[in-house]
Amino acid sequence: MKPMLPTYYPEAPNSKDWRYEVKYDGFRAILTIDSDTISISSRNEKELSPQFPEIIAYIKDLDLEDYLPLQLDGELVWLTNQAKADFFQIQWRGRLGKQSLISENARFSPCRFIAFDLLRISGKDVADKPMVERRELMLNMGEKLGLPTPDPNDKALIQLIESFDVLDIALNKVTLLDGEGIVAKEIRGAWQEGRRTTSWIKVKNWKTVSCFITALHKENGYVSLAVFKEGAVTKIGSVKNGLSARDKSILHQLIKQNASDEDAHFFYIHPSICIEVQFLHVYEENELREPQFSQWLLQTSPDECTWEKFVLGQYTFPETVQITSRDKPLWKTEGKQVVKVEYLHYLREVSAFFLPFLKDKLLTTIRYPHGTLDKERFFQKNKPDYAPDFIKTFMDEDIEYMLCNDIETLLWFGNQLALEFHAPFQKAGKTRPDEIVLDLDPPSIEYFSFAVKAAQEIKKVMESLRIKAFVKTSGNKGLQIHIPLPEDTFTYQETRIFTDFLGDYLTSSHPNDFTTERMKINRHNRLYLDFVQHSEGKTIILPYSPRGNSFAGVATPLFWEEVNESLQLKDFTIETIPNRIKRDGCAFMEYRLVDNGPAFLEVLSFLKQKKINN
């Protein structure tokens, strides 16, 4: 079955006769489910199900009996956040041929099917019904099956598109989360197989770059694009689309007449012709995704087409998010400068995984008004007078704490140069911890191997007690062990009984390596088991928070198999973490699904009894 296709327009229609959906950058697919078969068919009618076994397995666990045969139209995606999918990642998955690699990636970094239309349900064709009726049927089914709207932090691998009745709300969400664009759908429109129709209109979230032309390909007509980076001509891709036939003819003649050189494939030209090009995203190799000619820049000199402007142009934000000093340097790592807008983009890229740990926590942030290139910094708890009204707060002991529960607030914090996010071990309004965090603090980064050893020893103890523990880097020089607990169940006094037992066990077993001595002078190059840090009123760095250190470190969730002698803290930075999540997934994905309550209660009861007996 060939899918129905949208028509591209520069702007979307804006009326009550239309609804608006996020456009995800992935593989268009038709999902067909029968009582004994599941098929995922591509736009070119290629069977994709062998490449995405995680989706097939998820479907088999759904109770779909009342809805079969079922057919859904949608997009196969790797979700970055609620409004953005990574095309490179889904393309890479689609090209994997080795079954062991497919299975490994399906487990750690699963893809999802975003359903945006219903074609058949309970064996009945509904494609000819109006869009709003098809959507209502799909939503009713999704509600009964527990299918969420798009979210990479949700374990559901079939998710249902979110639909908006106000254009500006849809556009704001896409711009806010750096999505590909939107699709406007006429509410009375039927689904038409294989047709490109104007009842579906797609609008792209374009970025722009000012660049100059360096070459013309003789056969395919593409022109090569570049900018100046530290005085050197640096290629950023090539473009062919968007030029009218007349403009294309003029451009080709200009290049040929002014060519400085040529070979079998190209005419080459010195930097002289400047143009503006639209694009969606930038690949890792700095190649433009879907480049399209926008306009001639007749008044622009090639010297004005710089790498710095290209970097800044990659990151757009809606007017609702006020960004100041976009090019302000925050970190300088190994000669590379990280500017504010790149930091804000990091926060946006990891927001789906970061925000669940920030939600409803009384935050203490560390702000660096001049970035980490300056030593000045200060702690902030209270909401300042200039904070926007949309930021939620919670009063606690005369402090109006700010809560970071959404992407707008997170980006506001980032714009204020809050580079570190610390929080207590319980949510706002609670007095009992919902986790234990054990801080493994070596005397310096040169002794990091002690943190690895301590983490491995703690893991052995936790496994023997049937308690599930998670591990992350601190982002500075150590590691931290997280043990999730059920909310409102155990007191800080009870968790102290456990941490005292664990500290005593580790220091007695490895007295030359570990200590609970609080005075640095008495530690003698041993790793400090900072278990005292886990107490009421104390805070800990949150997973995915950056650090204000020289290498732009990030407090990064790890998989236990990574905790070995080859682990290097400087591999985990704001530059590497977004791609790490795409490649390996989030090691804390199941953090809030773990129930350590029964096992922890059993251990605690034993320790309490032992204390009484002694």
Catalytic residues: 23
- The phi and psi torsions of 192 (rounded to 5 degrees) equal -120, 110
- Residues with Cβ < 8 Å from 612, sequence gap 6 or more? none
The residue ranges of DSSP E strands in 102-180, in sequence order, are: 112-121, 124-125, 158-160, 163-164
Q: Give the C-alpha separation, 412 to 363, whole Å.
A: 14
Query: Residue 254: in which H helix or E strand, if any?
Result: helix 245-257
Which residue in the block uniquely carries the two structure tokens 């198999």?
A: 561
CB 411 within 8 A of CB 340: no
Q: Beta partners for 208?
A: 278
Helix axes 340-358, 577-584, angle to 10 degrees: 50
């009870």: which residue's tokens?
494
How do 223-229 and 274-279 pair as beta strands? unpaired
The Cα-based distances of 117 to 5, 137, 179 in angstroms read 12, 10, 20
Handedness of CA 270, 274, 279, 282 (dihedral sign): positive
Measured from the Cβ of residue 298, the count of other Cβ atoms closer than 10 Å reads: 8
Whether the CB-CB separation of 71 and 120 falls below 8 Å is answered with yes
Cα distance between residue 158 and residue 300, in whole Å: 48
* C-alpha dist (Å) from residue 611 to 378, 482, 590, 601, 604: 43, 25, 34, 15, 10
Q: Are 455 and 463 spatial neighbours (Cβ–Cβ below 8 Å)?
A: no
